[in-house]
Amino acid sequence: MQEVGCNHAQMVGFSTDGFATTHTMRKLHLIWVTARLYIEIYKYPAWSDVIEIETWCQSEGRIGTRRDWILRDCATGDVIGRATSKWLMMNQDTRRLQKVADEVRDELSTYFPKELRLAFPEENNGSLKKIAKLEDPAEYSKLGLVPRRADLDMNQHVNNVTYIGWVLESMPQEIIDTHELETITIDYRRECQHDDVVDSLTSYEPIEDAAGLEIHGAANGSATSPKDVNKSFLHLLRLSSDGLEINRCRTEWRKKPASI
Amino acid sequence: MQEVGCNHAQMVGFSTDGFATTHTMRKLHLIWVTARLYIEIYKYPAWSDVIEIETWCQSEGRIGTRRDWILRDCATGDVIGRATSKWLMMNQDTRRLQKVADEVRDELSTYFPKELRLAFPEENNGSLKKIAKLEDPAEYSKLGLVPRRADLDMNQHVNNVTYIGWVLESMPQEIIDTHELETITIDYRRECQHDDVVDSLTSYEPIEDAAGLEIHGAANGSATSPKDVNKSFLHLLRLSSDGLEINRCRTEWRKKPASI
A134 shares a domain with A64: no
Q: How far apart are CA A198 and CA A99, in angstroms?
A: 30
**Cβ-proximal residues to B198 (8 Å cutoff; 6+ apart), any chain:** B144, B145, B146, B147, B166, B192, B237, B238, B239, B240, B246
Contact (CB<8Å) A150/B47: no
Q: Across residues A63-80, what is the average pLDDT?
A: 91
Cα→Cα distances A190→A35, A134, A202, Å: 10, 17, 18
A42 shares a domain with A159: no
Nearest to A148 among B47, B149, B169 (CB): B169
Distance from the Cα of A217 to chain B's closest Cα (Å) equals: 30
In terms of pLDDT, which residue wins out, B48 or A133? A133
pLDDT of amino acid A211: 55
Q: Which of A38-47, A79-88, B97-106 has the lowest mean pLDDT?
A: B97-106
Q: Is B159 a catalytic residue?
A: no
pLDDT of amino acid A209: 57
Q: Which of A34-43, A203-212, B52-61, B233-242 has the lowest mean pLDDT?
A: A203-212
Q: Tell me what the pLDDT averaged over chain B comes to.
A: 83
pLDDT of amino acid B260: 55
Read off the pLDDT of residues A200-212 as tens digits, 9 standing for 90 and up.
999 999 887 555 5
* pLDDT higher than threshold 90 for residue A52: no
- pTM for the model: 0.80
- The ipTM of this complex is 0.74
B28 shares a domain with B143: no
Total domains present in chain B: 2
Spatial contact of A179 and A124, defined as CB atoms under 8 Å apart: no
Q: How far apart are CA A236 and CA A248, in angstroms?
A: 5
A120 shares a domain with A23: yes
Q: Is residue A51 part of a domain?
A: yes
Among the listed residues A6, A74, A91, A155, the single catalytic one is A155
User: A166 contacts in B (CB within 8 Å)?
Assistant: 148
Task: Using pLDDT thresholds of 50, 70 and 90, give the confidence band for residue B61.
Answer: confident
Cα→Cα distances A16→A37, A84, A146, A194, B232, Å: 11, 11, 24, 22, 36
pLDDT of amino acid A21: 65
pLDDT of amino acid A172: 95
Q: What is the CATH number of the domain that holds B41?
A: 3.10.129.10
Q: Is residue A215 part of a domain?
A: no
3-state secondary structure of B14: helix
Task: Using pLDDT thresholds of 50, 70 and 90, give the confidence band for residue B13.
Answer: very low
Read off the pLDDT of residues B129-186 as tens digits, 9 standing for 90 and up.
999 999 889 999 999 999 998 888 777 788 888 999 999 999 999 999 999 999 999 9
Residues 150..209 of A with a Cβ closer than 8 Å to B: which?
A: 150-153, 165-166, 168-169, 176
In angstroms, how far is CA A1 from the centroid of its own chain?
17
DSSP label at residue B127? G
Q: Which residue of A has its CA nearest to B5?
A: A150
**Cβ-proximal residues to A258 (8 Å cutoff; 6+ apart), any chain:** none
A124 shares a domain with A157: no
A82 shares a domain with A198: no
Q: Is residue A222 part of a domain?
A: no
Give the residue from A7, A63, A72 showing the smallest Cα distance to A35.
A63
Contact (CB<8Å) B47/A169: no
Read off the pLDDT of residues A145-190 as tens digits, 9 standing for 90 and up.
999 988 887 777 888 889 999 999 999 999 999 999 999 999 999 9
**Cβ-proximal residues to A25 (8 Å cutoff; 6+ apart), any chain:** A31, A32, A89, A104, A107
Q: Is residue A25 part of a domain?
A: yes
- Residue A144 identity (one-letter amino acid): G
B167 shares a domain with B73: no
- Which residues share a beta bridge with B65? B59, B87
B123 shares a domain with B133: no
Q: Is residue B212 part of a domain?
A: no
A150 shares a domain with A233: yes
A117 shares a domain with A144: no
A98 shares a domain with A4: yes
Of A62, A95, A128, at which residue does a domain stop? Answer: A128
pLDDT of amino acid B12: 44
Q: Is residue B223 part of a domain?
A: no
Give me the domain span that covers residue A241. Answer: 129-207+229-259
In terms of pLDDT, which residue wins out, B189 or B12? B189
Give the residue from B47, B139, B38, B116 showing the smallest Cα distance to B82.
B38
